[in-house]
Structure formats: C-alpha cells, structure tokens
Amino acid sequence: MNSHEGKISVSQAGPLVYTFSLRGLQPKRPHLHVSEGPPTAPVLSISLPPAAGGIRFRSAFLHIVHQQGGPGEDLGVVEGLLDLSPTMRRFAVGRAEDATHPDTIRAALSEFISTLIFVFAAEGAVLAHDKLTKGTSSMAGLVAVALASALALFVAVAVGFNTSGGHVNPAVTFGALVGGRLSLLRAFLYWVAQLLGAVVASLLLRFTTHGMRPYGFSVAAGEGEVPALVLEIIMTFALVYTFYATAIDPKRGTMGTIAPLAIGLILGANILAGGPFDGASMNPARAFGPSLVGWRWRNHWIYWVGPLLGGGLAGLVYEFLMIPTEPPRTHQPLAPEDY
C-alpha cells in the first residue's frame, strides 16, 4: 500500500518552521517524513505511511512560517489544506499486526456500538408498531418505521464517523473495500463488529419487550424472490452511492458535514418505497440480527446477496467513474471552520 503524500510550494526562500494537524481517519500520533526541498525554492513535502488497516488520510492543515536568521524574523505565514488523497488506489489484505492496533480496535468497537444503536431503534420501531396495532399494517406505520430508521442511521453514522467512518452496514464496508478504501482485514473486522452489534441489539429488544420475537425481513405475499432481490440491489446501490458521494469522495468539501443526514434520508426514502414489498433492508447486519434472535429465516439469502451486490456496484461506479485519478491539489483555501 502506498503512502499518502502532499506538497505545498513556498514562494520565499529560507528555513521553514511549520506545524500541522491531520484531518480524517488516522492514528493520533502518526509518523511523518518531511523534506523541505532546496533552500532556493523550498517545497514542503509530507509523506505519511498508511494507517493501520489501510484507512486513508484526507488532508493536513499546515501553518508554515518562513524564517530568516532566528525566531522573530518571520518573512511570512502560509496556511492551507493539503489534499493527501493517494493518486493510485491499492487493494490490500492488511497486516496481521493491524488486527491488534489500537486504532483498528477502536474502529471495530465504534462499528459495534453504532450498529447496535441503529438496529435497536430501527427494529424496536417495528416491534412498537406491532404492539400498538396488533400486527395491522398501515401507511402511518410505514412512515413511522421509515422515520425511526432514518433518524437512527443519521445518529449511528454521525457518532461513528470520526472513529471508523460510520459504515454501520456490511454493504457499505464492501463498497469501500472494492473501491480500495480500506484493507480486507479491516473490512472483515468491521463485518464481525456490525453483525455482533445487530445480534446484541436484537437480544436486548427481546429482553426489554417481554419476549417479543424480532421480525427481521421477508418478501411480502405475492412478491417474487427475484424482483425482491433486484429491489434490494437498487436500494442498496442508492444508499452506498450516497455514502460515497457525501462521506468518502475527496472532493466532497463541506458536503461531508451533512453526510449522516443525507445517508439517513436516503434510507428512509427507500423504506417508504420498498418497505411494503420486501421490508427494505439494504443492510445484511440489520437483517441478520433480528433473524437470528427471532429465528425467522424465510428469504433471508436475499438480504445478503442483494445488498452486497448493490453496495459493491456502487463502490465500483463511484470510485472509478466519479473520482478522477489526478495528482493531489497543492493548496486549498482555508475554510473558516478549520481555524
């Protein structure tokens, strides 16, 4: 796996004094290699080794002071953002020692907690609706479940975003994997954490609802398995494509601040569209936890194959068609929130 590099040109000659902080998913104390170039034309070049598990550095904020002589004789200050996105995508298995790296463990724990939060609220809304209506389906119930799921995913992605990326979904992780955004080892740990989070959430629901069996997902009466599979592929494609556009794309800019909201909204919209036909899972973990605890396995394979196909396709399309391979930009204007 390649390192992450960025350069910023300096117009004035002389020794440089610089401070910088990294933005994105990275160890708190990364090892940095810095070279300043020739004295007559200084160029600050930063090279960062990959973080544990292959997480990509997004950018670095630099505060550079040109000095001549000693301290207090500054010639000027340059501040800005370096785009540290790699110009080449690499697909890595990951190193064995990454599995026990503190950042990997924290990321996996974050995925566990975020998925638990999401599944508990989303499946809990289904059980609550069933208790209130005695199993009678209604448009109001569909809207309530869609709203609860959208809000829960909004929160789950937001609380996990800075630690793990806030995937909360094996299909999202698979899309990031095929796009070369994380290693196979980290993806596997995410999948385990997400499935465990969904199972624990379902167990907690069964305990706190006096033994109500979680429903999980199944194809509605009169709906065929193949149409339901295609529906899951389409809905998950939209979900992962939205995730890529707002949370992964290096060009997203300030769009990243609304990523959790956008991801939650597309989930809610898809539930309104697909819920009456197959439940609109779009998430193998969301389907697996309730199915295991409630022991309901009818049509369960659809909720693995469909989301993984849709998520993988979205990752490939966005990564290789929407994100151009180009040298990183050397300087960006500093946004007000970065001061």
List the alpha helices (DSSP H) in the chain. 102-133, 139-160, 170-178, 184-208, 225-243, 259-278, 284-294, 302-317
Which is nearest to 123 in space by CA: 271, 277, 302, 308? 271
Per-residue pLDDT of the chain (339 residues; tens, 9 = 90+): 333 334 444 333 334 444 444 444 333 444 444 444 444 444 444 444 443 333 333 444 444 444 444 444 433 444 444 444 443 466 778 788 888 899 999 999 999 999 999 999 999 999 999 999 887 778 889 999 999 999 999 999 999 999 999 999 999 999 999 999 999 999 999 999 999 999 999 999 999 999 999 999 999 988 999 999 999 999 999 999 999 999 999 888 888 899 999 999 999 999 999 999 999 999 999 999 999 999 999 999 999 999 999 999 999 999 999 987 654 444 444 444 443
Task: Identify the three-state secondary structure at position 304.
Answer: helix
Q: How far apart are CA 148 and CA 271, in angstroms?
A: 11
Cα–Cα distances (Å) from 259 to 18, 107, 153, 246, 304, in that order, read 32, 18, 11, 5, 24
| Chain segment 277-300, per-residue pLDDT in tens | 999 999 999 999 999 999 999 999
Provide the 8-state DSSP code for 84. Answer: -
Provide the 8-state DSSP code for 332. Answer: B
Can you give the pTM of this predicted structure? 0.73
**Strands ordered across the beta sheet of 57-67:** 16-24, 57-67, 74-83
Q: How far apart are CA 123 and CA 128, in angstroms?
A: 9
**Plot region of 77 (φ>0 → left; ψ -120 to 50 → alpha; else → beta):** beta
Percent of the chain with pLDDT over 90: 57
* Residue type present at position 78: V
Q: How far apart are CA 94 and CA 73, in angstroms?
A: 47
Structure confidence at residue 254 (pLDDT): 82
Which is nearest to 302 in space by CA: 213, 235, 206, 202? 235
Residues in CB range of 91: below 8 A, 6 or more apart:
180, 184
**E strand or H helix at 32:** none
Give ∠ CA 316-323-171 in degrees, rounded to 5. Answer: 35
